[in-house]
Amino acid sequence: MKAAIFIDVQNDFVKGGALAYGYPVKPNTDKIIAFAHDCRIKGYALYATQDTHGDDYMRTLEGRLLPVPHCIKGTAGHEVVDLLHRDGDGNIIIPYGRMIEKPTFGSFDLLNKLYDDFGDEYGFGKYGEPLEEIIICGYCTSICVVSNALMLRAARPNVRITVRADLCGDVDEESHKAALKVLRNCQIDVEGI
């Protein structure tokens, strides 16, 4: 079975948001949503992470180093893009139970959820079959995408992990390309360049 993970596809990271990506220049959120619909049709297990901060964000280490309040829980910016949760007909794409809040770049809760659903490499989890591939996309490539991909690589050393570069966004092109190089160096496939 395959899993698709949508990293921080939240209102604050898309065009017009508090920390909107600068690269690619043209918005790619519609392509991400179309990809999610395709994955759902194929029967993949879908997950989404949500960068999650509190009102005290500016007093945190991240807030001091990146002084742009974003993804504050309870705000519109914290919410996953609507059509990633439900399509225009109200059909659930990614259920709330598979939306994982994370207070920092990488998510141990994501690793634990995958373990609950797929178990170890032999598939002794809820699905009863092994995880063949993890496909990742989202924002920002050089921060949260790469952090979660590397954590997943450490937790699942024998599972193919693929990052869809065309379905990611970053602060700029240089950061995006540098992250893709790190991913390749860590035996993570990069597609959609």
CA-CA distance, 93 to 156, in Å (whole number)? 25
For the chain, residues with pLDDT lower than 50 are none
Distances (CA, A) of 25 to 170, 178, 185: 10, 17, 26
Find the CATH number of the domain harbouring 135. Answer: 3.40.50.850
Query: What is the total count of domains within the chain?
Result: 1
What was the pLDDT predicted at 65? 96
What was the pLDDT predicted at 96? 80
Domain region containing 50: 2-191
What was the pLDDT predicted at 102? 97
Is pTM beyond 0.85 here? yes
Q: Quote the crossing angle between the two packed helices 146-155 and 173-185, to the nearest 10°.
A: 10
